[in-house]
Amino acid sequence: GPGSGKGTQSLKIAQHYGFEHISVGELLRKKMIHNATCNRKWSLIAKIITNGELAPQVTPRFKALLYR
C-alpha cells in the first residue's frame, strides 16, 4: 500500500543491478503539475492523486499520455 517503501526498495534494486528506475507515481506527479490546469484528463488524475486514491491501471494509451 501507500507509504510502504515500494519506491525506495525498487530504487535500491535498480541501482544494485544497474537498471534504470522508473517511478510511475513520479511521472504522474510531474505531468499533473504541468498539465492539470489545462487538460481534463490530467485534472481528473490530479484529483485522484490528491485524494490518495489509486490511479487507473496503466494501459498502452495511458503510457502514451505519460511520455508525451
49, 42 in Cβ contact below 8 A?
A: no
Q: Could you tell me which residues come within 8 angstroms of residue 25 by beta carbon, excluding any fewer than 6 positions away?
A: 7
**Alpha-carbon distance values, 28 to 16, 17, 36 (Å):** 25, 25, 11
Residue 10 in domain: no
56 is a domain residue? yes
Q: Is residue 5 part of a domain?
A: no
The 10s digit of each residue's pLDDT in 33-57 is 777 677 777 777 778 878 877 766 6
Q: Is the pTM of this model over 0.85?
A: no
13 in any annotated domain = no
Q: How many domains does the chain have?
A: 1
34 falls within a domain: yes
42 lies in some domain: yes
pLDDT band at 60 (very low <50, low <70, confident <90, very high): low
The reply to whether 60 falls in a domain is: yes
Inter-residue contact 20 to 27 (CB < 8 Å): no
Residue numbers of the domain that contains 60: 23-68
Q: Evaluate whether residue 15 is within a structural domain.
A: no
Q: Please state, as a whole number, how many other Cβ atoms lie within 10 Å of the Cβ of residue 45.
A: 21
